[in-house]
């Protein structure tokens, strides 16, 4: 990222402060409601989401582990924006406890296999069908694109949904406000799938655009990126 060792230490220090506050906030999730969360989370351009949804193709929301990403889902629910997250079930006990703390914040679906079509069918104005959060799991197809100067294995899921349903991809990121109290959500301009007839290149192109948006927000707010796994573990044989 082009930072000095001293800057890196300061970023890491602030990151762990943010992580601690995020952990406490997640435990508070059962007490969240549409009234109190509106005072804690602000959206800069919610109109972008509604305009994208009005196209009746569904919406793929692109997010990452910035700040308190679970409160982002709860904040979306408070706006009445219909959304669903599809994820594989986890046998890990702490994950089950974590999921209980999130209960009621948003519509969370689990499936042992491929996502059910009825959850993700475009053109619905009500229910979880209108928007789709997808958290790709292990074993799913990946695309290698540059990420902070190195080729990184990147989930293919968002590109798949954008291609299959002709749905706009809306980057949406949340960061903690400088005071430490409250959060700001940035909604970016939609990214559209360009179908040239070459699926491999088209999937790569939109995945690259999405990854560039993620990298851009991380560069702006590096102490809000709460991700401790090695992002470049999968070897690239290109």
Residue numbers of the chain with a pLDDT score lower than 70: 1, 82-140
First to last CA, the chain: 23
Q: What is the pLDDT of residue 82?
A: 67
Any long-range contacts for 1-6 (C-beta under 8 Å, 24+ apart)? 1/148, 1/219, 1/222, 3/222
Q: Where are the domains of the chain?
A: 5-224
- Alpha carbons 148 and 109: distance in angstroms, whole number: 32
Q: What is the pLDDT of residue 231?
A: 82
Q: What is the pLDDT of residue 16?
A: 95
Q: What is the pLDDT of residue 201?
A: 97
Burial zone of 113 (CB within 10 Å; 0-12 exposed, 13-18 middle, 19+ buried): exposed
Burial zone of 37 (CB within 10 Å; 0-12 exposed, 13-18 middle, 19+ buried): buried
In this structure, the number of other CB atoms found within 10 A of the CB of residue 54 comes to: 10
Q: What is the pLDDT of residue 23?
A: 93
Q: What is the pLDDT of residue 124?
A: 40
Q: What is the pLDDT of residue 168?
A: 96
- H/E stretch holding 154: strand 150-155
CA angle, 7 then 10 then 11, to 5°: 85
- Alpha carbons 105 and 57: distance in angstroms, whole number: 24
Q: 5-224 in CATH: which number?
A: 3.40.1130
pTM score, two decimals?
A: 0.80
Q: Which residue has the tokens 């948006």?
A: 213
Burial zone of 196 (CB within 10 Å; 0-12 exposed, 13-18 middle, 19+ buried): exposed
Beta carbons of 166 and 160 less than 8 angstroms apart:
no
Q: What is the pLDDT of residue 238?
A: 74
């Amino acid at each position: 990222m082009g930072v000095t060792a001293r800057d890196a230490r300061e970023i890491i220090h602030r990151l762990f402060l943010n992580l601690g506050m995020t952990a406490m906030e997640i435990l508070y999730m059962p007490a969240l409601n549409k009234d109190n969360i509106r005072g804690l989370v602000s959206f800069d351009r919610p109109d972008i989401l509604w305009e994208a949804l009005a196209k009746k193709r569904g919406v793929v929301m692109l997010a990452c582990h910035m700040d308190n990403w679970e409160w982002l889902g709860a904040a979306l629910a408070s706006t009445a924006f219909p959304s669903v997250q599809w994820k594989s079930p986890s046998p890990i006990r702490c994950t089950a406890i974590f999921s209980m703390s999130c209960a009621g914040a948003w519509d969370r679906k689990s499936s042992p296999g491929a996502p059910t079509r009825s959850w993700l069918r475009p053109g619905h104005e009500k229910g979880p069908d209108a928007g789709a959060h997808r958290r790709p799991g292990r074993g799913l197809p990946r695309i290698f694109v540059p990420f902070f100067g190195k080729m990184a294995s990147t989930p293919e899921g968002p590109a798949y949904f954008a291609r299959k349903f002709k749905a706009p991809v809306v980057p949406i990121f949340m960061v903690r406000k400088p005071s430490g109290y409250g959060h700001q959500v940035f909604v970016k301009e939609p990214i559209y799938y360009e179908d040239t007839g070459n699926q491999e290149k088209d999937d790569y192109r939109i995945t690259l655009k999405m990854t560039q948006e993620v990298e851009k927000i991380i560069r702006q707010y590096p102490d809000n990126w709460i991700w401790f796994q090695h992002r470049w573990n999968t070897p690239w044989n290109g």
